[in-house]
Chains A and B, each alone.
Chain A
Amino acid sequence: MGYSQPRQPEQVQVAGTRARPYRRALASSKTLPDFLSVLRRTRGKSSLASPALITLLLPSILLIGVFSYYPAVRSLIGGFYQWNGFSPPTYVGLAQFNTYFHSPTFAPEARNLAILVGGTILITVIAQFSAAEVVYHMPRRLGNVAKYVLIAPIVLPPIVVIEVWAYLLLPDTGLIDRLAGALGLPQPTWLSSPHLALLSILLIGFPWISNLGFLIFLGGLQNLSREILEASRVDGTGALRRVFVIDAPLLFPQFRIVVILSGIYAVQNFIPILLLTNGGPGTATFVPGLDMYQSAFQNNQYGYGMAIGTLLFLLMLAFTVVVMRALRPRTA
């Protein structure tokens, strides 16, 4: 077997056995890349088991298998077992789900989560769509600069944003209360007030522009068809009217993605709560994610935590499906 032969794939095809193209390739190549190329040129549709494919795909498959799929499956099963992390788990059926639904914190958790998810979606969509409209209407070159300037803070570590807002929202001495004081406005205690704590959590990150949704909306606007915009201008549609009558309906797919992404983010993002209020005061900011975290990592109730994790997963799945169906693009 020389090196000349594999350069003519048809010959290899005819000469080699179709079922085992890699054996032939193996015999005719010295290095891995050589081997891969010979294998490719044999054009046989290799099965998943061929060594070349295994070399290429195995690292990635191993990673997601061990660190993504296995934990996911384990979590879905784990909710049915009571387990403290040390003694062997015991099967308890749906008992832990039941316990959770009847726990005294379930009602406030559900209420807080609903407010956080609804609030996050609302402020995200409004802030990012408006920002995208503003940038879109800017002169081209300036708009491009504005886009980068507005998106850059997305790279700030979330912990930095949270700590900054912890300072801004400090009672009396925080920046917002001092500004309010200087203007003669009331100075609420924000995070330590039972009524305002949840609102304060939502306030973190104001004006909520520097995120993915802004880029998604802006990309959508920039891809709107010129003819439609031209037609609307000829019709004399005003700018504000155009936003609602043309831009918003045509950007339906973008709205859908942003609603889903921000909703899922809101369900999972208990980190500001963990750092700033730990669910308090009382249960004013307690959410299922925090309950899950505390159950597993503070109270050693791993099974119970996984049960809550499973419920959250189902909630997000249902939410995604509902939004996908509800916000189907309406083609006239």
Chain B
Amino acid sequence: MHTAQTTAIYEARPTRKTATARRARRYWAVSLLAGAVIVALTYFPIVFVVSNSLKTGRSIFTSGVLSLFTQFHYGNYVAAWNGVDRQLLNTVIVAAAAIAIGVTAAALGAYAFSQLTFRGKSFLFMAYLALLMIPWTLTLIPLFVIVQRFGLFNTWWALILPYAAGAQPLLMIIFRGFFEQIPPELLQSARVDGCSERQVLRRVVVPLTRPILLTGSVLMTINIWGDYLWPTIVIQNPQRTTISAGIADFVNSFGLNLSGGGAVFAALVVASLPMLVLVVVTMRYFVSGVTEGALKL
């Protein structure tokens, strides 16, 4: 066997083996140390935010620089929750509607692109790829004009429809790639076994594609959750806006000197926590979806 031979060679030259092993161990040690450093650097602001979110007012600025988790003032979270609960709910509603529309539209389209043949198919798909080259700064102003023309200003539709549309190119690319892997014979054999076409869709296609539909939904949720600019442009009523704009309003209501103290930091945690939980739960889908989309560029 190959491995046996390699071992034999290494045994014949013991100095070389130990040198390699020692070097490998050294790389591990160096990489572990470096890894610990970059993880610490990445997470230090998060640790400080969580620690500050539990402190009372001025003590954020008066207690020692590195006094982490010295107070546990949970009242901050009550204040923060009362400040942004409405916006959290709005975001969930808007995201759910945008996902329902965007993912359904993209999945139907991807089914056509992957399982049907028709004239102009590759040209039409190019139209989706080309959209990746159109920056949002180009479409921002006319999109606002359209929203006004349609009478959608200050309504959730002004968020839902552009979000659903904006997700189409990415969703179409990752969905098509996935749908193409379903062998047509599988669908055919289900039909032969007596499934009606609706049953084929429900019992074969949907279960098979559920991971990618979930990936698409997660990516859309993260984008909608994090979008600050568009809601501030099309939603005037602070009670109707989504979480990122709501957080900015909440922080601004105290001013930059942070007189709100811990509640400001608590609000930042409240806005971030749902996304962190979501991504921890769906990490594998999320990572594969995000890289696949980028590498298709």
Choose among B35, B127, B161, B226 the residue that contacts A158 (Cβ–Cβ < 8 A).
Answer: B226
6 residue pairs, one from A and one from B, having the closest CB atoms: A67-B165, A33-B197, A71-B142, A59-B105, A137-B31, A71-B139
**A332 interface residue per 8 A CB criterion:** no
Q: What is the chain A residue whose CB lies nearest that of B134?
A: A72
Interface residues of A (CB under 8 A from B): 7, 31, 33-34, 36-37, 40, 45-48, 50, 52-53, 55-57, 59-61, 63-64, 66-72, 74-76, 78, 85, 131, 134-135, 137-139, 142, 146-161, 163-168, 170, 173, 175, 178-179, 182, 206-207, 209-210, 212, 215-216, 219, 233, 239, 257, 260-261, 264, 267-268, 271, 274-275, 289, 292-293, 296-297, 302, 305-306, 309-310, 312-313, 316-317, 320
- Chain B, 108-133, contact with A by CB distance < 8 Å: what is the 0/1 string? 11011001111110001001100101
When A70-B146, A153-B46 are in contact, do A313 and B165 touch as well, CB less than 8 Å?
Answer: no
Distance, CA A320 to CA B43, complexed state (A): 33
B145 to chain A, nearest CB (A): 7
CA distance A153 to B45 in the complex (A): 11
Q: Given A31-B197, A68-B168, A142-B32, does the pair A157, B271 have CB atoms closer than 8 Å? A: yes
A31 pairs with B198, CB closer than 8 A: yes
Stretch at the interface among B69-77, B209-217, B283-291: B283-291
Measured CA separation A206–B120 after assembly (Å): 46
User: How near does chain B come to A220, taking the closest CB pair, in angstroms?
Assistant: 9
Given the known interface contacts A158-B228, A159-B228, the answer about A239 and B27 at a Cβ–Cβ threshold of 8 Å is yes
Question: Which of A135, A153, A157 has the most B CB atoms < 10 Å from its CB?
Answer: A157
What's the least CB distance linking B287 to chain A, in Å? 6
Say yes or no: A37 contacts B197, CB within 8 Å: yes
Q: Is the CB of B116 within 8 A of A53?
A: yes
Please judge, given known A-B contacts A138-B31, A157-B228, whether A56 and B108 are in contact too, CB under 8 Å. Answer: yes
B98 to nearest A CB, angstroms? 11
- B-side residues, CB < 8 A to A, are 20, 27-28, 30-32, 34-35, 38-39, 41-43, 45-46, 48-49, 61, 65, 101-102, 104-106, 108-109, 111-112, 115-120, 124, 127-128, 131, 133-146, 161-162, 164-166, 168-169, 172, 191, 196-198, 200-201, 222, 225-226, 228-229, 233, 243-245, 247-248, 251, 256-258, 264-265, 268, 271-272, 275-276, 278-280, 283, 286-287, 290-291, 294-295, 297
Whether B279 and A152, one on each chain, are in contact in the complex, defined by CB atoms closer than 8 angstroms, is yes
Assess the B290–A212 pair: CB atoms within 8 A. Answer: yes
Q: Which residues of B contact A137 (CB under 8 A)?
A: 27-28, 30-31
State which of A46, A76, A159, A296 has its C-beta within 8 Å of the C-beta of B247: A159
Minimum Cβ distance to chain B for residue A56 (Å): 4
Nearest CB of chain A from residue B258's CB, rounded to whole Å = 6
Residues A158 and B244 in contact, CB atoms below 8 Å apart: yes
**CB-based nearest A residue for B123:** A48
Quote the shortest CB–CB distance from A310 to chain B (angstroms). 7
A151 contacts B287, CB within 8 Å?
A: yes
Partner of B115, one of A40, A163, A260, A309: A40
**CB < 8 Å: which of A37, A78, A163, A264 contacts B191?**
A37
Chain A residue with the shortest CB-CB distance to B269: A160
Asked if A160 and B271 make an inter-chain contact with CB atoms under 8 angstroms apart, the answer reads: yes
Which among A64, A74, A170, A260 has the greatest number of chain B C-beta atoms within 10 A? A64
In the bound complex, do residue A34 and residue B116 qualify as a contact, i.e. CB atoms below 8 Å apart?
Answer: no
Given A56-B111, A60-B108, A159-B247, A164 and B49 contact (CB-CB distance below 8 Å): yes
How many whole Å from B130's CB to the nearest CB in chain A?
Answer: 9
Contact with A178, one of B65, B101, B229 (Cβ below 8 angstroms): B65
Q: Which residue of chain A has the shortest Cβ distance to B250 in the bound complex? A: A163
Bound form: Cα–Cα A268–B272 in Å: 23
Closest residue of chain B to A316 (Cβ to Cβ) is: B135
Nearest Cβ on chain B to A147's Cβ, whole angstroms: 8
Q: How far is it, in angstroms, between the C-alpha of A137 and the C-alpha of B287 when the chains are bound?
A: 20
Question: Is A209 touching B42 in the complex (CB atoms < 8 A)?
Answer: yes
A282 → B minimal CB distance (Å): 19
A329 to chain B, nearest CB (A): 15
In addition to A67-B165, A215-B290, 6 A-B residue pairs with Cβ atoms within 8 Å of each other are A47-B120, A48-B120, A52-B116, A153-B46, A215-B287, A261-B294
Smallest CB gap from B112: residue in A: A56
Known: A64-B168, A137-B28. A155 touches B258 (CB 8 A): no
- The CB with the most chain A CB atoms within 10 A, among B20, B39, B141, B258, is that of B141
Assess the A134–B35 pair: CB atoms within 8 A.
yes
Pick the contact of B251 from A7, A163, A168, A274 — CB < 8 Å?
A: A163
Q: Name the residue among A40, A166, A312 with the largest chain B CB count within 10 angstroms.
A: A40
